[in-house]
Amino acid sequence: MSNKTFYITTPIYYVNDVPHIGHAYTTVAADVLARYKRLKGYDVFFLTGTDEHGQKVEKAAKDRGKTPKEHADLMVDNFKNLWKTLNITNNAFIRTTDDEHKKVVREILQKLRDKGEIEKRSYQGLYCTPCERFWTDKDVVNGNCPDCKRPVEHIEEENYFFLMSKYQDRLVKYIEENQGYILPEMRKNEVLGFLKNRTLGDLCISRPKARLAWGIPLPFDENYTTYVWFDALLNYYSATKYLAPSDIEWWPPDHHFIGKDILTTHAVYWSTMLMALDMDLPKNIFAHGWWTVDGQKMSKSLGNVVDPNEIIEKYGVDAFRYFLLREVPFGLDGDFSINALKGRINGELANELGNLLSRTIALIVKNKKEGFPKRDDTKYISVPDTPTFFSEGLSEWSNTFLKSFDFFMGKLQFYHAIGHVVGAIKGWNKYVQETAPWAEKDHDKISNTLYTLAEGLRIIAVYLYPFMPSTAEKIWQQLGIEKDISKIDFDEEVKWGKDISGLKVKKGEILFPKVEAL
Ligand code: MSP
């Protein structure tokens, strides 16, 4: 085991609904980073799972005539199956109904209670049942919830409160002093704006069992269950206690990837909970944007919810994974449309990448039926054959390319990382055009060009691997490389100048068949 560790999480998804493009987005993004880090030599713990308690799930189960657990058991497979289809390499899948998780939640509740961080108070407030939260008079708009716009109820009852308010100043200071804690920058500013312009209240963390039975009972008062967010956020910690390899200290997580709508719960509730527990905060919370569909909000009532399974079936897993991270810079909102997806497939994937591979393989097959000749550095890495778009020479090119790629990945700029690779693919296509090996008579020159192309593609496949793992594998297979690309040393494999003599290329299927434009 190496001593470099990397712990990344996605939100745990509610089982009241089937997975859609929003769920797929966070999970694919986390998978890209997890795959990249593994090849960079890290021990990775990549966690995803489902959030199974609370009123939403209780209601969804009731509507289907099931108990909440029966319902959750059925729904959870929709997520697990989709992650399989999407080639997600999560190391663990947590369910908040796991006994071990419930045990940790109860221990933590007891600990906070013992430390005087949880207090019982009589309380009255305006409650939104669908959103499972209290609002103040100021928040409510004409008697309706400011979030879901449904009527709120006036409720008076005794409840338990986590004394969150006392951490307000400490949290502001923490966020200001730890620049990378909340990203992107605009989200950090939003949280700071929120914290600086209001007095933070305490957080009601219980629900009377009579109102919400489907939750974890408080260890110090069984008449109450715990607030679904309190239970859910703790998954990030509980999983390290029973789902992660125990010989490694996984805390604190490197990244929590979430959507922008659940930023407050993470940046404020979760951070202060950890402060109260004297635990380290995660190194980063990254809130990505939301997808609209054909310019409209995605919603069941509009009937425009994108089912990833349908897209994958029609256009393939890798095209979908690619699209999600290529279409919009991570952090900004984006729009999904079949047209835009087709544009990416026909353009960058079919015309550029697919074409580069098929013409390279065809040329090699035509000229080098016996495989590659033994590599001769003096011949194959000579300056005249340096592609014209790389002024520094190819070894130099591969070093600088790696630096830029690592920079983008380190900043979670997946869009730019892919853009960088696409730039190289376009460059290699130009190189084929310029060297025109089909018109060349000099055999040495042809060999040299073909080596350069094959070597370029071998390296490009490594860069594409985190985003499109099966495509990367197919490229290596067609080049005749037998190594398992998911187990390589990234930095080693992107170096220019491997000896690929003797490799027998195999003409394979077209990587991305063109799709009919709308
Ligand atoms: N269960 C909570 C999370 C608890 S984490 C401790 C939850 N679940 S959810 O299933 O409703 O949503 C999960 C994620 O899906 C959120 O990160 C949310 O931002 C994301 N998305 C939901 N709709 C989305 C889009 N239209 N676009 C992008 N992401 C979206 O919240």
Query: What single string gives the DSSP state of each residue in 112-169?
Result: HHHTT-EEEEEEEEEEETTTTEEE-TTT-BTTB-TTT-PBPEEEEEEEEEE-GGGGHH
Question: Range with the lowest mean pLDDT among 82-86, 119-123, 185-189, 408-412?
Answer: 119-123
pLDDT tens digits for range 154-211: 988 999 999 999 999 999 999 999 999 999 999 999 999 999 998 999 999 999 998 8
> Would you say residue 473 lies in a domain?
yes
> Would you say residue 53 lies in a domain?
no
Average pLDDT rounded to a whole number, residues 300-324: 95
Look over the chain and give the mean of its residue pLDDT values, rounded to a whole number.
92
> Residue 237: is its pLDDT beyond 90?
yes
- pTM equals 0.94
108 CB less than 6 Å from ligand 1?
A: no
> Residue 392: is its pLDDT beyond 70?
no
Question: Range with the lowest mean pLDDT among 315-324, 384-393, 398-407, 461-470?
Answer: 384-393
pLDDT tens digits for range 489-506: 999 999 988 877 778 888
> Residue 1: is its pLDDT beyond 70?
no
pLDDT the model gives residue 232: 98
Selected residue with higher pLDDT from 238 and 131: 238
> Would you say residue 392 lies in a domain?
yes
Angstrom distance (rounded) from CA 428 to CA 466 = 21
Distances (CA, A) of 196 to 2, 27, 260: 42, 32, 19
Question: Range with the lowest mean pLDDT among 121-125, 295-299, 321-325, 406-410?
Answer: 121-125
> Residue 393: is its pLDDT beyond 80?
no
The two tokens of residue 272 are 């202060």
Phi and psi for 81 in degrees, rounded to 5?
-65, -40
A 10 A CB-CB count for 448 gives 21
Angstrom distance (rounded) from CA 313 to CA 114 = 53
Tell me which of 133, 187, 290 to substitute to probe ligand 1's pocket, judged by most ligand atoms within 8 Å of the beta carbon. 290
Question: Range with the lowest mean pLDDT among 225-239, 452-466, 493-507?
Answer: 493-507
The two tokens of residue 343 are 């544009």
Tell me which of 13, 235, 300 to substitute to probe ligand 1's pocket, judged by most ligand atoms within 8 Å of the beta carbon. 13
Q: At 55, is the pLDDT very low, low, confident or very high (cuts 50, 70, 90)?
A: confident
408 CB less than 6 Å from ligand 1?
A: no
Report the nearest-CA residue for atom 21 of ligand 1. 22
> Residue 230: is its pLDDT beyond 90?
yes
What is the CA(42)–ligand 1 centre distance, in A? 28
pLDDT the model gives residue 351: 96
Average pLDDT rounded to a whole number, residues 442-463: 88
Determine the structural domain holding residue 393 and report its residue range.
338-493
pLDDT the model gives residue 515: 94
Average pLDDT rounded to a whole number, residues 460-473: 98
What is the CA(11)–ligand 1 centre distance, in A? 7
> Residue 152: is its pLDDT beyond 90?
yes
> Residue 254: is its pLDDT beyond 90?
yes
> Residue 384: is its pLDDT beyond 50?
no
Average pLDDT rounded to a whole number, residues 287-307: 93
Q: 3-state class of 370 per DSSP?
A: coil
pLDDT the model gives residue 518: 62
Tell me what percent of the residues of the chain surpass a pLDDT of 90.
76
pLDDT the model gives residue 123: 84
* Number of domain units in the chain: 1
pLDDT the model gives residue 501: 73
CATH code for the domain in which residue 400 is found: 1.10.730.10
Average pLDDT rounded to a whole number, residues 363-391: 56
Report the nearest-CA residue for atom 5 of ligand 1. 11
Q: At 2, is the pLDDT very low, low, confident or very high (cuts 50, 70, 90)?
A: low
What is the CA(186)–ligand 1 centre distance, in A? 19
Q: At 56, is the pLDDT very low, low, confident or very high (cuts 50, 70, 90)?
A: confident
How much of the chain is helix, strand and coil, in % rounded to 5?
Answer: 50, 15, 35
pLDDT the model gives residue 378: 43
Q: 3-state class of 11 per DSSP?
A: strand
Distances (CA, A) of 268 to 103, 135, 164, 174, 423: 24, 16, 9, 11, 40
Angstrom distance (rounded) from CA 96 to CA 105 = 10
Angstrom distance (rounded) from CA 246 to CA 91 = 13
Q: At 150, is the pLDDT very low, low, confident or very high (cuts 50, 70, 90)?
A: very high
pLDDT the model gives residue 379: 47
What is the CA(345)–ligand 1 centre distance, in A? 27
What is the CA(45)–ligand 1 centre distance, in A? 21
A 10 A CB-CB count for 128 gives 21
Selected residue with higher pLDDT from 503 and 239: 239
What is the CA(49)–ligand 1 centre distance, in A? 12
Peptide bond into 184 cis (omega under 30): yes
Average pLDDT rounded to a whole number, residues 101-126: 96
Angstrom distance (rounded) from CA 288 to CA 257 = 7
13 CB less than 6 Å from ligand 1?
A: yes
> Would you say residue 5 lies in a domain?
no
Average pLDDT rounded to a whole number, residues 140-153: 90
Tell me which of 26, 27, 59, 238 to substitute to probe ligand 1's pocket, judged by most ligand atoms within 8 Å of the beta carbon. 26
Q: CA-based Rg of the chain, rounded to a whole angstrom?
A: 26
298 CB less than 6 Å from ligand 1?
A: yes
> Would you say residue 356 lies in a domain?
yes
pLDDT tens digits for range 323-373: 999 999 999 999 999 999 999 999 999 999 999 999 999 998 888 655 565
> Would you say residue 456 lies in a domain?
yes
Angstrom distance (rounded) from CA 329 to CA 412 = 9
> Would you say residue 464 lies in a domain?
yes
Specify the ligand 1 atom closest to the Cα of 261: 19
